Amino acid sequence: MKVIKIHTPAKLNLGLRVLGRRPDDYHEILSLMLKVSLFDRITVDIGGKGLMVVCSDPGVPVGEDNLVYKAVRVFSREVKEVDGMEIEIEKRIPVAAGLGGGSSDAASILKVLKALFAPRLPEHKLREIAAQVGADVPFFLSPGAAWASGIGDELIPCRSRLPGSFVLVSPGVEISSAWAYSEWDRAGEKPPGSELTGDYPDNMITGIENEDWPEVLRNDLEPAAAGKYPVIREAKAMLSEAGARGVGMSGSGPVVFGVFSNPGQAEKAGKKLEGIRDSQVFIVKTVD
């Protein structure tokens, strides 16, 4: 029996623009995504019969609705049948929080499957499989930050210099992506400033270069989320008061984050925010 242990990182969306709903009911987006040092831990036992997924968080599905389970099944269908695997997920990334924990777990399992069972599989084929598992899964297959478009699966590496120190606040509520996008649909308006220049949102690039964080970090899903959960606005205000250069909500929320100039300032701010009722605070840095 072979045992493999892996750490899977969370992601942040530095800004999220929703451009519209597609005929297949997915949404076209633009976002700048990066990985941060908040990890789930996964143990993979190879051997035995069948596929079993277990998780430390009882709220996480462990059957066909689990993205890790789905990743193994799609790989088995598209590349090579995999039988005899037990996967244990130790959750540290908050669930339904806009941090992509499930997608990261699924991507890491796909990397393991490729290494063990199909080392010659082209990377583009692995990305195609990842896109079948979930829109955010391809992002976790590649290092570094990336501009995400399409449904989040069209990725271009980001060459801009980005901040490296963040404080995350998880307010203790869960928001499903489906609900967040349905609320955007219900609002019925395309947000201003979503224009494209070439492959990139020109105003976001300019915002990064000028450190115009309110422009860069704008999230079109935030108004509905903060309307339902005022704690999101409260957490952002506390991060600003703690010295953040900019504050934003990641993905469909509810996790919010503050951008800090260096690890020392992030550490100091994080300590100020510890003990917020029903919330978790994480001090993180970017990782590749």
Which range of residues forms the domain containing residue 77?
2-157
CATH of the domain at 88: 3.30.230.10
CATH of the domain at 277: 3.30.70.890
Which pLDDT value is given to residue 194? 44
Strand, coil or helix: 168? strand
Residue 23 has, within 13 A of its CA and on its CB side, a CA count of 0
Judged by average pLDDT, the poorest of 117-126, 182-191, 230-239, 279-288 is: 182-191
Same domain, 174 and 93: no
Does 11 participate in catalysis according to the annotation?
A: yes
99-125 pLDDT tens trace = 999 999 999 999 999 999 999 999 999
What's the pLDDT band for 199 if we cut at 50, 70, 90?
very low
Tell me the torsion sign for CA atoms 49, 50, 54, 58: negative
Same domain, 123 and 183: no
What's the pLDDT band for 188 if we cut at 50, 70, 90?
low
Same domain, 41 and 169: no
Same domain, 153 and 197: no
Same domain, 191 and 151: no
Which pLDDT value is given to residue 201? 60
Which pLDDT value is given to residue 83? 81
Percent share of the chain, pLDDT over 90: 69
Which pLDDT value is given to residue 114? 97
- Domain end call among 135, 157, 179: 157
Same domain, 174 and 110: no
Cα 162 to the chain's mean position, in Å? Answer: 17
Same domain, 24 and 115: yes
Which pLDDT value is given to residue 59? 85
| pLDDT of 196 over the 50 cut | no
**Rounded Cα–Cα distance for residues 17 and 30 (Å):** 5
Which pLDDT value is given to residue 160? 83
Which helix (DSSP H) or strand (DSSP E) does residue 19 occupy? Answer: strand 2-21
| pLDDT of 52 over the 80 cut | yes
| Domains of the chain: total | 2
126-171 pLDDT tens trace = 999 999 999 999 999 988 899 999 988 899 998 888 889 999 999 9
Which pLDDT value is given to residue 214? 82
Catalytic residue, chosen from 11, 35, 91, 114, is 11
Whole-prediction pTM value?
A: 0.91
Catalytic residue, chosen from 40, 91, 105, 136, is 136
Same domain, 34 and 101: yes
Does 190 participate in catalysis according to the annotation?
A: no
Same domain, 65 and 184: no
Same domain, 235 and 257: yes
Task: Give, as one character, the DSSP assignment of residue 227.
Answer: H
- Domain end call among 157, 186, 211: 157
Same domain, 84 and 169: no
Which pLDDT value is given to residue 86? 94
Same domain, 192 and 250: yes
- Domain end call among 110, 136, 157: 157
